[in-house]
């Protein structure tokens, strides 16, 4: 079996619309086959993005030019190593495609495995065969919105008010809050206006699900926020909500706002009639894991990131 050709797509040579369609179709095939999506939201959005957003793409093609594997990487937030995702077409596995993509990534790239069960086991075997070690663990936690331990009523400290996001009013303030709250987070902290606009253009975006805790005497100043996400939306049969992004301004932390704003979001998701709620949290984020555990969340699965030692 000949090694595949690996082509680079970047700012000078962006992915064409047809290539982006093939990549997303390949990822959808892999998701059906593996039972888990190989590319996370940001990577899927970047594949489709018509403006260069810092992502680099690697396309593995066969002799006929068909795309049989794909990798994407981006430089991390300040000082962080590049973050990558890679996927091989289910019918083209164990033929060296994954290996060819991996060696074309920067040496210090960290590669995500979002699978569970057999898919996670094969990603771990692949990583081990290529000399990678697990370096980061992301927990997917969940709970029922209809049963299980009740969560407490929201307690808003004095001086704050609650409202929801308004387009055209809150974008810049929300981005500033997000950047401050996630200054040390490898991915979330680097979200820019174009990334926010992309998400607001998605069919699932609902400003009523982006809850803001603001200063009571200055409602344009954001102290905390909880962006909830329902994808697919309820009207399309969605039953699972997500605690998408919880952010508390660093100068407002330690007052219980994280817990309050999380609870406000859970109340909102329950009011939509959803069954379950999930969230993603870094294992190292001990404060967040503790907050969610206290609110009745338990581990559903664990995603891992691998890197060369």
Ligand X SMILES: CC(C)(COP(=O)(O)OP(=O)(O)OC[C@H]1O[C@@H](n2cnc3c(N)ncnc32)[C@H](O)[C@@H]1OP(=O)(O)O)[C@@H](O)C(=O)NCCC(=O)NCCS
Q: Which residues bind ligand X (CB under 6 A)?
A: 30, 34, 38, 86-88, 93-99, 111, 113, 115, 119, 122-123, 125-127, 129, 306
**CB burial readout 248-266, b (16+ within 10 A) else e:** bbeebeeebbbbbbbbbbb
| Least distance CB 22 / ligand X (angstroms) | 15
- Nearest to 257, CA basis, from 292, 296, 225: 225
Closer by beta carbon to ligand X, 19 or else 34: 34
Instruction: Select 140 or 243, whichever has its Cβ closest to ligand X.
Output: 140
Q: From CA 66, how far away is CA 60, in angstroms rounded?
A: 8
111 versus 281: smaller Cβ distance to ligand X: 111
In this structure, the number of other CB atoms found within 10 A of the CB of residue 193 comes to: 10
Report helix, strand or coil for 132: coil
Beta carbon nearer to ligand X, 69 or 209: 69
What is the biggest distance separating any 2 CA atoms in the chain, rounded to whole angstroms?
A: 68
User: What's the closest the beta carbon of residue 34 comes to ligand X, in angstroms?
Assistant: 5
**Please, which residue, 87 or 246, has the CB nearer to ligand X?**
87
In whole angstroms, give the CA distance from residue 207 to residue 164: 7
**CB-nearer residue toward ligand X: 29 or 215:** 29
- Sheet with 133-144: list strands edge to edge: 5-9, 56-61, 67-74, 83-88, 110-113, 298-307, 133-144, 276-282, 240-248, 218-230, 210-215, 160-164
Give whichever of 56 and 268 is closer to ligand X, judged by the CB atom. 56
- Residue whose Cβ sits closest to ligand X: 98
The helix/strand/coil state of 234 is helix
**Least Cβ distance, residue 222 to ligand X (angstroms):** 36
Nearest of 166, 182, 176 to residue 223 by alpha carbon: 176
Quote the least distance from Cβ 272 to ligand X, whole Å.
32
Query: Who contacts 218 (Cβ-Cβ below 8 Å, separation ≥6)?
Result: none
CB of 190 to ligand X, least distance (A): 22
Tell me the C-alpha distance between 292 and 282, whole Å.
12
In whole angstroms, the minimum distance from the beta carbon of 6 to ligand X comes to 12
Which residue number, 88 or 269, has a Cβ lying nearer to ligand X?
Answer: 88
Structural element, H or E, at residue 264: helix 257-271
């Amino acid at each position: 079996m000949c090694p595949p050709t690996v082509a680079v797509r970047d700012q000078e040579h962006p992915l064409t619309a047809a290539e982006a369609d093939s990549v997303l179709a390949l990822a959808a095939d892999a998701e059906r086959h593996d039972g888990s999506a190989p590319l996370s939201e940001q990577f899927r959005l970047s594949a489709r993005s018509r403006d260069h957003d810092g992502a680099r793409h690697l396309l593995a093609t066969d002799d006929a030019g068909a795309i049989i594997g794909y990798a994407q990487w981006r430089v991390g937030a300040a000082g962080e190593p590049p973050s990558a995702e890679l996927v091989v077409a289910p019918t083209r596995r164990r033929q060296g495609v994954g290996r060819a993509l991996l060696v074309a990534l920067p040496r210090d790239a960290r590669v995500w495995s979002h699978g569970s069960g057999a898919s996670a086991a094969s990603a771990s075997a692949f990583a081990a065969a290529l000399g990678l070690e697990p370096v980061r663990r992301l927990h997917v936690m969940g709970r029922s919105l209809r049963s299980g331990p009740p969560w407490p009523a929201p307690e808003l400290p004095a001086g704050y008010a609650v409202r929801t996001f308004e387009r055209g009013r809150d974008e810049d303030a929300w981005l500033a809050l997000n950047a401050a709250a996630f200054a040390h987070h490898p991915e979330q902290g680097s979200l820019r206006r174009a990334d926010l606009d992309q998400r607001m253009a998605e069919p699932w975006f609902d400003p009523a699900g982006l809850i803001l805790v603001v200063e009571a005497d200055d409602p344009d100043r954001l102290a905390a926020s909880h962006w909830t996400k329902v994808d697919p939306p309820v009207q399309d049969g969605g039953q699972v909500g997500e605690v998408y992004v919880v952010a508390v301004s660093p100068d407002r932390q330690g007052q219980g706002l994280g817990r309050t704003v999380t609870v406000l979001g859970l109340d909102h998701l329950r009011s939509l009639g959803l069954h379950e709620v999930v969230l993603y949290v870094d294992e190292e984020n001990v404060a967040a894991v503790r907050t969610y555990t206290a609110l009745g969340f338990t581990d559903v699965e664990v995603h891992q990131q691998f890197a060369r030692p």
